[in-house]
Structure 1
């Protein structure tokens, strides 16, 4: 795990509110099995389900990409606007050279660099639209990407993958002074999506799915009659 990832997790851990009562040790009854789920439910506070939950966590998602998306939905990224306020960095400007302040909304996808990457990724999934900063884009995804068909699934995979690779490129430029152009990042995104699709059992054979598969160079042998199966 990278240092910046540990810093983000540490920041989230510090925000957890602990109760004022004393800790209580519970022993399960004899013969019962230990369950991580039961342990988690015993210690965490229950909240109502957020409206973006299905955008982040869904069947056959890529966990590390979904975690990156989860951080963005919580506005928990250590963007340069926050770091600048704390005096950690000297500039709060976007590392992609657009001249704007780096915020979550700007990074995904108000920036012309990351916005172009996401726009091309969306086009591969069959959507042509004007890309918005994160607040607007998240609302569009929540309202539009409902259901479980292949197009919806692959677009949610693409969103999380795009955010992951754009953030990795951001860190690479800041910490290693290594730069990729937008085409290289798009190729990395599409390669990840292709590999994910290769792990599927069946993709339903219909005109929409054939169109997406041809753009992403997904093999025809995955297309078969019947519902999509992961």
Structure 2
């Protein structure tokens, strides 16, 4: 008998009424190969016992997977284990066929607002400087980084210009709605835009970490070159650049890959 099912259906009172300990096995109600229930002391126990008396104890036990067609599949197991939440719109900007895995994971963190920014660290007792390391103009948080920061906004605007995508928003809260409208679909240009979004956000944070840990930060141009290289390599690897117009092909230096 499924303990969780019984408790959810009948409540904890059923344990007291049965006279059996909570962790009891079904065998405590069997004696000499027959059912041996104590007298029922509640309507719930009457229901349980009446159903069990229909079970022949001589029957062979059979394990049945409680899912479609009674057969085990990894997909069914995952559905049993996971918590189901409403779908979010931004998943199309994070997970798509040509996405770069490390960028997708990082974008997932960003959309979840799970980055360890200085603003967030203040809630953990951090008492150091909370200014943005890239521009020193505002408190470090997700909304400032992506992309109100002067440094970030220049990178973002230039990369979107190279994608021939004008009027890209400079506010993270607007990026989701804008991205789902402008970067939606399986077209090459939409894929280019989503790859650039992921690479830009990832590399801006990487630049921040280099400054934080006294590493070697990149110049704006070298950072943009890194973004170009990541995106170009992905397009070439998947052979997805041939449908781009000539301007984008030459701007992204894809002509040498024909």
Normalised to the residue count of structure 2, the TM-score between the two structures is 0.68
2:118 paired with 1:83: no
Question: Post-superposition shift, 1:91?
Answer: 1.6
Q: Give the direction of change, closer, same or farther, for the CA distance of 1:39–1:119 in structure 2 (3 Å limit).
A: same
Q: Give the direction of change, closer, same or farther, for the CA distance of 1:38–1:169 in structure 2 (3 Å limit).
A: farther
Given candidates 213, 230, 241, the residue that maps to 1:203 is: 241
Cα-Cα RMSD: 2.5
Paired residue secondary structure (2:126): coil
Deviations 1:158-178 (A, max 9, x none): 100111111111111102342
Q: Which residue of 1 aligns with 2:158?
A: 120
Given candidates 171, 174, 185, the residue that maps to 1:136 is: 174
Q: Which residue of 2 aligns with 1:93?
A: 131
2:192 paired with 1:154: yes
* Aligned positions, number: 195
Question: Post-superposition shift, 1:41?
Answer: 2.1
Higher-Rg member (1/2):
2
Normalised to the residue count of structure 1, the TM-score between the two structures is 0.76
Q: Which residue of 1 aligns with 2:248?
A: 212
2:205 paired with 1:181: no
Q: Give the direction of change, closer, same or farther, for the CA distance of 1:218–1:71 in structure 2 (3 Å limit).
A: same
Q: Which has the higher contact order (CA 8 A, sep 6+)?
A: 1
Bigger drift between 156-165 and 120-129 goes to: 120-129
Q: Give the direction of change, closer, same or farther, for the CA distance of 1:210–1:101 in structure 2 (3 Å limit).
A: same
Paired residue secondary structure (2:238): coil
Q: Give the direction of change, closer, same or farther, for the CA distance of 1:73–1:27 in structure 2 (3 Å limit).
A: farther
Runs of 5+ unmatched residues, structure 2:
1-7, 9-62
Task: Find the aligned partners of 1:155 and 1:63 in 2 and give their Cα distance.
Answer: 16
Q: Give the direction of change, closer, same or farther, for the CA distance of 1:157–1:89 in structure 2 (3 Å limit).
A: farther
Tell me, yes or no, if the aligned pair for 1:81 and 1:101 is still in contact at 8 Å.
yes
Tell me, yes or no, if the aligned pair for 1:71 and 1:77 is still in contact at 8 Å.
yes
Question: Post-superposition shift, 1:145?
Answer: 1.5
